[in-house]
């Protein structure tokens, strides 16, 4: 199979890597831990640690070898595991923090940047294992460095579990308070989903779904800088030309991702799962989704027209990627994490980009309200209401939506939460002052929409 079509494509891809921040954002190894279940917590933890170390022993070195030999930057090597609520449901314990620490120790031993899967799927209700895991999240994320957590509270098929939504508002607040000395760092590693996918290679929401193989290689590519650069050649052109330009660029980016994925799969003797072709920005200048939208003619990201521009971008990225790979999956589209995108940070600081506009944009992007800092005194029920709104968008539109909210203790609107690395820094954004407490306190389930009845 030919991954890059001709010499011009090769030269253009080299230029993207050299000058436009193009990279493979992550090689993620998915590992099933279902066979590690044990009633004894310490035995379960030991099995989990040993299996991860055994399966992922060569992951980092393989990624580094491919990076060196092909000249393709591979920013992160990561692991996703089966939702721990399933694996540890039989454990006789009051806390799953020891398992989180086992995951963290295994991640450090094999050298990966993050490990995802301290997760629960509660879209229709919670099991004993789910409740145990959710209660353990704040301490687990505060006591570990590389563990990421996610909870799926809704789906198009099941509706929205509002009891879980109410609980997760409190969990986010507690996670923030436990890491108040680190500007609520734990919250950067916690995602609340609707319609979570099983093969997502991106953190913090990655977990290894029950429909996945025993072990698999998934790759997440990036490339906002390459797309933004390509759009410089079609200033003033009709949107048909803009869409075609994005498609062609996404095609090249995805080809590179597939090459890396198949090579890693071959060297590790594991199945190739998917390429996630999401445009994942960084805080670096020139690597921003917001700047792509502005390159289409918007004065600033957040002004009227932003949602339409993002809809075009997301759709064109998917169309270009699907033509380039037979196995596109994960989230695949355009991410809009505020703290991780230089253009989004600038727009939020100037108040051109508000929470309300971000919510509208999540109707057409890949995920949702991502890496958004809010005042530290934001009530738990307000956080829950934000989660409910985002879950409703995902449920009704049959798409994945998510929230990664950071209620930074002691911070107010206009302050900045410095996180560092790929997480960047988050301007604290205003939330609505009206109370949603009575709404959230109702609990129960919001029923699935009529469009869920497809059988």
32-53: average pLDDT: 97
Q: Looking at 194, 228, 246, which one is the last position of a domain?
A: 194
Q: What sign does the dihedral 416-108-270-264 (CA atoms) show? A: positive
Burial class (CB in 10 A: 0-12, 13-18, 19+), 57: middle
Q: In the predicted model, is pLDDT for residue 147 greater than 70?
A: yes
Residues 354, 409: Cα–Cα separation, whole Å: 20
Residues 187, 142: Cα–Cα separation, whole Å: 9
Residues 169, 111: Cα–Cα separation, whole Å: 32
Q: Looking at residue 146, what is its pLDDT?
A: 97
Examine residue 126 and state whether it is found in any structural domain, yes or no: yes
From start to end of 122-189, where are the E strands? 147-155, 159-161
- Residues 257-269 have pLDDT tens digits of 888 899 999 999 9
Q: Looking at residue 239, what is its pLDDT?
A: 94
Instruction: Give 265's contacts (C-beta < 8 A, 6+ positions apart).
Output: 217, 271, 272
Examine residue 379 and state whether it is found in any structural domain, yes or no: yes
Q: In the predicted model, is pLDDT for residue 85 greater than 60?
A: yes
Examine residue 34 and state whether it is found in any structural domain, yes or no: yes
Q: Looking at residue 8, what is its pLDDT?
A: 55
Concatenating the DSSP letter of every residue in 39-79 gives: SSHHHHHHHHHHHHHHHTTTHHHHHHHHHHHH---EEEEEE
Indicate if 271 and 142 belong to the same structural domain. no
Examine residue 374 and state whether it is found in any structural domain, yes or no: yes
Q: Looking at residue 1, what is its pLDDT?
A: 40
Q: Looking at 143, 160, 194, which one is the last position of a domain?
A: 194
- Residues 410-425 have pLDDT tens digits of 999 989 998 877 788 8
155-163: average pLDDT: 96
Residue 85 tokens read as 């609520």
Q: Looking at residue 2, what is its pLDDT?
A: 42
Indicate if 367 and 300 belong to the same structural domain. yes
- Residues 313-354 have pLDDT tens digits of 999 998 988 887 878 888 888 888 898 888 999 999 998 999
Q: In the predicted model, is pLDDT for residue 150 greater than 80?
A: yes
Indicate if 66 and 189 belong to the same structural domain. yes
Confidence of residue 3 (pLDDT cuts 50, 70, 90): very low
Indicate if 328 and 434 belong to the same structural domain. yes
- State the chain's mean pLDDT as an integer: 90
**What's the domain range around 420?**
220-444
Q: Which residues pair with 393 in a beta bridge?
A: none
Indicate if 182 and 226 belong to the same structural domain. no
Q: Looking at residue 59, what is its pLDDT?
A: 96
Indicate if 81 and 142 belong to the same structural domain. yes
- Residues 128-142 have pLDDT tens digits of 999 999 999 999 999
Examine residue 3 and state whether it is found in any structural domain, yes or no: no
| Torsions phi, psi for 416 (to 5 deg) | -125, 140
Q: Looking at residue 397, what is its pLDDT?
A: 93
Indicate if 283 and 421 belong to the same structural domain. yes
Q: What is the 3-state secondary structure (H, E, C) of 181-232?
A: HHCCHHHHHEEEEECCCCCCCCCCCCCCCCCCCCEEEEEEECCHHHHHHHHH
Total structural domains in the chain? 2
- Residues 193-236 have pLDDT tens digits of 999 999 999 999 999 999 999 999 999 988 788 888 888 888 88
Number of neighbours of residue 197 by Cβ within 10 angstroms: 18
Between 412 and 73, the higher pLDDT residue? 412
Looking at residue 418, what DSSP letter applies? E
Examine residue 206 and state whether it is found in any structural domain, yes or no: no
Q: Looking at residue 229, what is its pLDDT?
A: 84
Reduced DSSP (H G I as helix, E B as strand, rest coil) percent helix, strand, coil of the chain, to 5 = 45, 20, 35
Looking at residue 409, what DSSP letter applies? T
Report the interhelical angle of 239-268 vs 59-70 (nearest 10°). 120
Element of type H or E holding 27 = strand 24-31
Indicate if 154 and 96 belong to the same structural domain. yes
Residues 318, 326: Cα–Cα separation, whole Å: 12
Q: Strand 147-155 relative to strand 445-446: parallel, antiparallel, unpaired?
A: unpaired
Residues 194, 210: Cα–Cα separation, whole Å: 17
Indicate if 110 and 232 belong to the same structural domain. no
Indicate if 294 and 421 belong to the same structural domain. yes
Residues 287, 260: Cα–Cα separation, whole Å: 21
Indicate if 166 and 276 belong to the same structural domain. no
Percent residues over pLDDT 70 in the chain: 95
Q: What is the CATH number of the domain that holds 318?
A: 3.20.70.20
Examine residue 200 and state whether it is found in any structural domain, yes or no: no
Indicate if 274 and 390 belong to the same structural domain. yes
Examine residue 199 and state whether it is found in any structural domain, yes or no: no
Peptide bond before residue 204 is cis, with ω within 30 degrees of 0: yes
Question: What value, to the nearest 5°, has the Cα angle with vertex 374 and ends 290 and 331?
Answer: 45
Residue 329 tokens read as 């999956």
Q: Looking at residue 12, what is its pLDDT?
A: 58
Q: Does the pTM of the predicted model rise above 0.85?
A: yes
């Amino acid at each position: 199979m030919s991954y890059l079509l001709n010499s011009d494509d090769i030269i253009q891809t080299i230029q993207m890597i050299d000058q436009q921040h193009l990279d493979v954002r992550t090689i993620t190894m998915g590992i099933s831990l279902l066979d590690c279940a044990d009633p004894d917590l310490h035995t379960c933890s030991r099995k989990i640690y040993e299996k991860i170390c055994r399966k992922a022993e060569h992951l980092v070195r393989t990624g580094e070898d491919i990076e060196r030999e092909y000249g393709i930057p591979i920013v992160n090597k990561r692991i996703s595991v089966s939702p721990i609520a399933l694996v540890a449901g039989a454990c006789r314990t009051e806390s799953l923090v020891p398992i989180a620490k086992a995951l963290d120790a295994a991640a450090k031993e094999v050298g990966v940047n993050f490990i995802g899967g301290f997760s629960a799927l509660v879209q229709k209700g919670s099991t004993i294992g789910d409740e145990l895991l959710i209660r353990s999240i704040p301490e687990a994320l505060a006591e570990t460095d590389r563990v990421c957590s996610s909870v799926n509270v809704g789906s198009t098929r099941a509706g929205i579990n509002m009891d879980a939504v109410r609980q997760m508002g409190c969990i986010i607040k507690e996670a923030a308070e436990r890491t108040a000395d680190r500007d609520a760092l734990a919250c950067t590693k916690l995602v609340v989903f609707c319609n979570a996918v099983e093969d997502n290679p991106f953190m913090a929401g990655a977990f290894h779904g029950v429909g996945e193989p025993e072990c698999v290689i998934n790759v997440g590519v990036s490339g906002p800088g390459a797309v933004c650069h390509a759009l410089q050649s079609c200033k003033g052109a009709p949107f048909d030309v803009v869409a075609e330009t994005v498609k062609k660029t996404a095609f090249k980016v995805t080809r590179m991702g597939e090459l890396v994925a198949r090579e890693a799969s071959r060297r590790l003797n594991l199945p190739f799962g998917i390429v996630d072709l999401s445009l994942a920005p960084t805080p670096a200048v020139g690597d921003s989704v917001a700047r792509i939208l502005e390159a289409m003619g918007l004065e600033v990201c957040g002004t009227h027209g932003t949602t339409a521009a993002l809809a075009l971008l997301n759709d064109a990225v998917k169309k270009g990627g699907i033509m380039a790979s037979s196995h596109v999956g994960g989230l695949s589209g355009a991410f809009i994490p505020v703290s991780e995108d230089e253009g989004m940070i600038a727009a939020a600081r100037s108040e051109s980009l508000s929470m309300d506009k971000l919510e509208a944009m999540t109707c057409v992007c890949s995920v949702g309200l991502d890496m958004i800092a809010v005042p530290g005194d934001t009530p738990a029920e307000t956080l829950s209401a934000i989660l409910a709104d985002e879950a409703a968008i995902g449920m009704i539109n049959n798409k994945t939506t998510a929230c990664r909210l950071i209620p930074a203790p002691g911070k107010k609107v206009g302050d900045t939460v410095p996180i560092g690395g790929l997480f960047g820094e988050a301007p604290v954004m205003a939330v609505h002052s009206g109370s949603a407490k009575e709404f959230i306190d109702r609990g129960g389930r919001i029923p699935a929409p009529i469009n869920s009845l497809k059988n």
